[in-house]
Structure 1
Amino acid sequence: MKILTMGVEEEFVLVDRETRAPVNRAPEVIRRAARELGDQVQAEFFNARIEVCTVPTAKRGHLRDELSWLRSVVGAAAREARCMPVACGTPVLPPGDPLTVTDTERYRLMARRFAPLVTRGDGSARDDGLVCGCHVHIGTLDRERALALAQHMRPWLPVLQALAGNSPYARRRDTGHESWRSVEHARWPTVEPTPDLDEAQYLAHVSRLVEAGTLLDSRMVYWHARPSEHVPTLEVRLADANADLDTVVLLAILVRGLASTLLPRAQDGVPPPRVPGADLLRAHRLAAAQGLGGMGLDPLDGRERPALDLLDTLVDFCRAALDTTGDLLWVREQRDRVHAEGGGAARQRAVFRQHGRLSAVVDALAAATVRG
């Protein structure tokens, strides 16, 4: 079995060290961090958000070490800018000052083209669009293979979404969801499961969406799993950003294990499982609302089952691939930890129950982000 490489993109919201509210200091933080990280630290749509990117690797230890290094450098740069990076799907507290859009031609054009998603009627920026995700890249894969693999992976992705739920709070309130980011991000076009398209159909479909003005360009295809348009990978992009670093590594390892398990079927032309669209959307809604503590839909037979059981099913399904890469024992240890502690949303709510302050939740997230 060929061992696929993996890479991770993490988005962080920048919060003021005193108010814990999001602040528009990304240009300063990026300028300082880039002295060491170069283009591995990048701007995002809002000036209150930044992104770090790992290089491709086949080794779990290498991935974890690099993510830890990236977080450490960004944390130091943010301290100099009087703020903190926080890995969380949605900001716990609202911005103190209006959000500003990063000053690039593409982002300015996006802000104009999709103004209802970015600004309110009075012209002020909407703060419900400030969301942070964690994207996993698997490669090297050309577009044709990435598309076929994405379609085979579709029934399993809600399980990974439930694992990564880390946005129960937004704008000072408990949303009742494990991943409120999933709800807010879905306002953008094409945030949905991968359609059943071959390469020629994909190119024609995206071209029509761009011509119609639904998308700005092919980089705005926001499917849960998509062929990347800037590197030769499959990009899985439905997870919340997580402060707990081992959760991020577990997510990447499971995405890689799932891809390795299903790729031979995709390459051999085996048809992907035919999951009714309504069932697939329901599975994603359950994952967003209930996370690991609730119910989900079994990827194999569509029955409703506890989400933690579905995580066990995924690990078992990928067992051979995980064993080949030397990750099986570690994954089982992390699975046991998740069973005992719950996911990121559960940890956030536990901090609030203990301290009774949302600022304490922000502090715990910030500490865990840099400690990683």
Structure 2
Amino acid sequence: MSTTLSAAADGTSPGTTSEKEPGLSGRGPGGTRLTMGVEEEFLLVDRCSGAPAGRAPQVIAATRGVLGAQVQQEFYTVQVEVCTLPTSDSARLRAELALLRAVVRVAAADAGCLLVASGTPVIPPEGPLEVTPDPRYRLMAARYVRSLGDLRQVVCGCHVHIGVPDKARALALANHMRPWLPVLQAIAANSPFDGGTDSGYASWRAVAHARWPTVGPSPVLDEARYERTADRLVRTGLLMDRKMIYWYARPSEHVPTVEIRVADVNADLDVVVLLAALVRGLATVLSRDAEEGLPPPPVASRALRAAHHLAALHGLEGDGLDLRSGRRIPAWDLVAALLERAAPGLEAAGDLPMVATLLGRLHTQGGGASRQRSTHRRRGSLYGVIDALAATTAAS
């Protein structure tokens, strides 16, 4: 592991064993801009069939000399993950993500694969998926086999990390961000197809991923309650260890970061940068509320889960749940409210014009799920969707 990542933390998707959290440093109120980092999980699909292909060991080996610990294995051998270094600059984040994608894409092509950014496979695997030959992954596969079904379900997410001073403030920030996470989930929805059919959801990944224990909204906790809760989850056997705490917003166990885990991976890199900037802008504003001792907004657990369900179902193409009024309203109205709330943080970072432009483009072109469906209608085949996703992933 490179020295720049040696302080990294507790992984991302189920079973990540290496220490690799980006977004490690930075302050909010009265200090420098908060740092951010991104992890992206990609699918490797066979160039001819479009089905997931278990060639990650070959691809990772080919890229390690260039990317080092910034390229990682994931739970299945059909997945490759990349992670950025911490930065406070959105342009630098985009450039690094583009470089990571480019290097992995070339290695994937050499292995006879396309690199595809979609929350779920468009074309189903041709048989059971192979779990990466790592002792922890294999133990998880055996222990949680009912959650995994027949080893044919794979999901790929995009996780945004924000640097915070310590775990206590990471938890305080997570508490304040909870009501806004369904909106971020809707923006990033990019997995309408699963098993070769349209799931009816904009983000089927959100549904499939929820089979794992603890996936869902985080409870409102201070540091003492977090420690008791984490210990209990492991002691009772629900989780193997603390790395399996998969809340939508969680603190790192090793370094002072908060990780936002609601997004599908997106082929369009602009959507990824938009998501990271919105998370950082919102975190900047809400960290000030936390620093001033303001309580997080009271949100009923049932209502919050309903908001996440609507975000997964519709993405940006239908209604979401306004947690302030309890009414269903157009998803884009919720996006407007998020932008208004995050605007001071975005402006402080110099990101507001970029975010406004990218949101306008997203409104015109549609989100990832809408684009996948549009491509399927236009080209008339699932492989056409794969081809378009691979081209957009490569165009970064």
Letter in 2 for 1:127: R
Residues 16-165 of structure 1: pairs in structure 2 closer than 5 A: 16-120=46-150, 126-128=151-153, 130-165=154-189
Do residues 221 (structure 1) and 228 (structure 2) align? Answer: no
Residues 305-320 of structure 1: pairs in structure 2 closer than 5 A: 305-320=329-344
- Structure-2 residue corresponding to 1:271: 295
Q: Does the 8 Å contact 1:312/1:335 carry over to 2?
A: no
Letter in 1 for 2:92: H
**Match of 2:329, SS?**
strand
**Match of 1:293, SS?**
coil
CA distance in 2 between counterparts of 1:110 and 1:311 reads 37
- Normalising by structure 2, report the TM-score: 0.91
**Match of 1:284, SS?**
helix
Alpha-carbon distance, 1:216 to partner: 0.9
Pick from 222, 230, 244 the counterpart of residue 268 of structure 2.
Answer: 244
Do residues 179 (structure 1) and 203 (structure 2) align? Answer: yes
CA distance in 1 between counterparts of 2:253 and 2:264 reads 21
Alpha-carbon distance, 1:268 to partner: 2.1
CA distance in 1 between counterparts of 2:351 and 2:294 reads 27
Alpha-carbon distance, 1:299 to partner: 4.2
- Which portions of structure 1, spanning 4 or more consecutive aligned residues, are displaced by more than 6 angstroms? none
Letter in 1 for 2:177: M
Residues 322-337 of structure 1: pairs in structure 2 closer than 5 A: 322-337=346-361
Letter in 2 for 1:190: T
Report how many residues are paired: 366
CA distance in 2 between counterparts of 1:231 and 1:135 reads 16
Per-residue deviation, residues 287-326 of structure 1 (Å, max 9, x unmatched): 0001101111224433321001111111111111111111
- Normalising by structure 1, report the TM-score: 0.96
Residues 253-272 of structure 1: pairs in structure 2 closer than 5 A: 253-272=277-296
Letter in 2 for 1:92: V
Q: Does the 8 Å contact 1:141/1:234 carry over to 2?
A: no
- Structure-2 residue corresponding to 1:167: 191
Structure 1 gap segments, 5+ residues each:
121-125
Structure 2 gap segments, 5+ residues each:
1-28
Range 304-313 or range 6-15, more displaced: 304-313
CA distance in 2 between counterparts of 1:339 and 1:316 reads 16
